[in-house]
């Protein structure tokens, strides 16, 4: 992701200058800087933060480091864009929030699906009442390969649900316009047994209850060997909206052996435009030309749901979310009696 953002900032984001790159892997920062024509490369990100004319930073480090890097960047007074998840625990999330609030700096979390044309269109349709009141939310997120074992470790990436389903949790909150109050997860290591060696698993189905009373279901998988399969549906009281595509190109091959077509290969092909749009939005937000995008509080909310869903899987029981439950109680107390 860091390399993708470097490519965008060095060529495709008006008003932004990519000033420096930092990476602890020996030689990687220098190679990346040379590739994108950047003058400064560092092994230690704190050296990057000390640059006098730096205005903003993009954090694409391992999830386990996010809270620490956010705190240091906030202390340096830099506007921050941070890839998801915000952190790997609520305590770390709250540390990051305190640092950002204390510094009074702009912050955007990397929930890029909000910037995808299909999801943005669905949001507008729902807001306009095209499908009535949202009733159920369904999402499928399937990766076409097993991740590296060193990345799959929950203490590094958060594991399957925190790493993958967090996108669906965020887009669920955004499209349903309601907080998640309860989760119940079923999952297991059904294909890649080697994930057991690092404490992760490859398939999960998570049921959701929203504060509005609406229901949700999220499926995530590591073993869609046929391609990158991302789909979402919201059913309303008067209709439904579906987001997603399976074919990469609008071409069908018809032969005597049957009909065939290609599929979306992976994330950059499906969400490349969304990644670019979210970075452009962040830069314009720093320039005070755009309203804030997905906030640090959205980052915490998605993380809270993901951690609760992971806990539900580990403990084999439904888990109620404390803060979301409070929102639900407030909504119930203000509801007009029928």
Task: List pLDDT tens digits, range 219-232.
Answer: 999 999 999 999 99
Which of residues 44, 74, 105 is at a domain's end? 105
Residue 323: which pLDDT band, with cuts at 50, 70 and 90?
A: low
Which of residues 105, 136, 154 is at a domain's end? 105
What is the CATH classification number for the domain harbouring 85? 3.40.50.720
Asked if residue 218 belongs to a domain, the reply is: yes
pLDDT value, residue 283: 96
Which of residues 50, 72, 105 is at a domain's end? 105
Q: How many domains does the chain have?
A: 2
User: For the chain, what is the mean pLDDT?
Assistant: 93
Q: Which domain holds residue 101?
A: 2-105
Count the Cβ atoms, other than its own, within 10 Å of residue 14.
7
Mean pLDDT of the 27-42 span: 95
Mean pLDDT of the 258-283 span: 93
Residue 66 sits in the same domain as residue 146: no
Sheet holding 134-142, edge to edge: 240-244, 229-236, 134-142, 215-221, 203-210, 180-188, 319-320
Asked if residue 68 belongs to a domain, the reply is: yes
pLDDT value, residue 245: 86
Helix (H, G, I), strand (E, B) or coil at 51: coil
Asked if residue 203 belongs to a domain, the reply is: yes
**Is residue 98's pLDDT more than 90?**
yes
**Is residue 39's pLDDT more than 60?**
yes
Task: List pLDDT tens digits, range 231-242.
Answer: 999 999 999 999
The Cα–Cα gap between 335 and 195 comes to: 46
pLDDT value, residue 333: 41
Name the strand (E) or helix (H) holding 275. helix 267-286
Residue 261: which pLDDT band, with cuts at 50, 70 and 90?
A: confident
């Amino acid at each position: 992701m860091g390399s993708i953002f470097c490519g965008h900032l060095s060529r495709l984001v008006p008003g932004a200058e990519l000033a420096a790159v930092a990476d602890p892997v020996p030689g990687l920062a220098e190679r990346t800087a040379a590739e994108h024509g950047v003058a400064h490369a560092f092994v230690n990100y704190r050296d990057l933060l000390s640059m006098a004319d730096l205005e903003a930073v993009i954090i694409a480090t391992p999830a386990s480091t996010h809270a620490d890097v956010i705190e240091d960047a906030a202390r340096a007074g830099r506007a921050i864009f941070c890839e998801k998840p915000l952190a790997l625990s609520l305590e770390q999330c709250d540390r990051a929030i305190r640092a950002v609030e204390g510094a009074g700096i702009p912050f955007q979390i990397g929930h890029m699906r909000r910037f995808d044309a299909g999801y943005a269109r669905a949001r507008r349709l729902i807001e306009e009442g095209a499908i009535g009141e949202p009733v159920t939310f369904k999402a499928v997120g399937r990766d076409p390969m097993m991740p590296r074992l060193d990345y799959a470790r929950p203490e590094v990436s958060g594991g399957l649900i925190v790493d993958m389903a967090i996108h669906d949790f965020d887009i669920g909150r955004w499209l349903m316009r309601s907080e998640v109050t309860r989760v119940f997860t079923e999952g297991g290591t059904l294909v890649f047994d080697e994930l057991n060696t690092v404490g992760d698993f490859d398939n999960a189905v998570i049921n959701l209850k929203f504060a509005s009373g609406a229901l949700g279901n999220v499926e995530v998988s590591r073993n869609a060997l046929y391609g990158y399969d991302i789909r979402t549906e919201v059913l309303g009281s008067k209709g439904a909206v579906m987001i997603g595509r399976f074919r990469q190109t609008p071409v069908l091959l018809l032969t005597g052996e049957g009909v065939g077509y290609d599929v979306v290969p992976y994330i950059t092909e499906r969400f490349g435009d969304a990644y670019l749009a979210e970075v452009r939005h962040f830069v314009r937000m720093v320039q005070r030309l755009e309203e804030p995008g997905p906030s640090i509080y959205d980052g915490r909310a998605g993380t809270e749901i993901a951690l609760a869903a992971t806990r539900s899987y580990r403990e084999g029981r439904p888990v109620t979310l404390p803060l979301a439950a409070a929102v639900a109680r407030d909504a119930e107390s203000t509801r007009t009696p029928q």
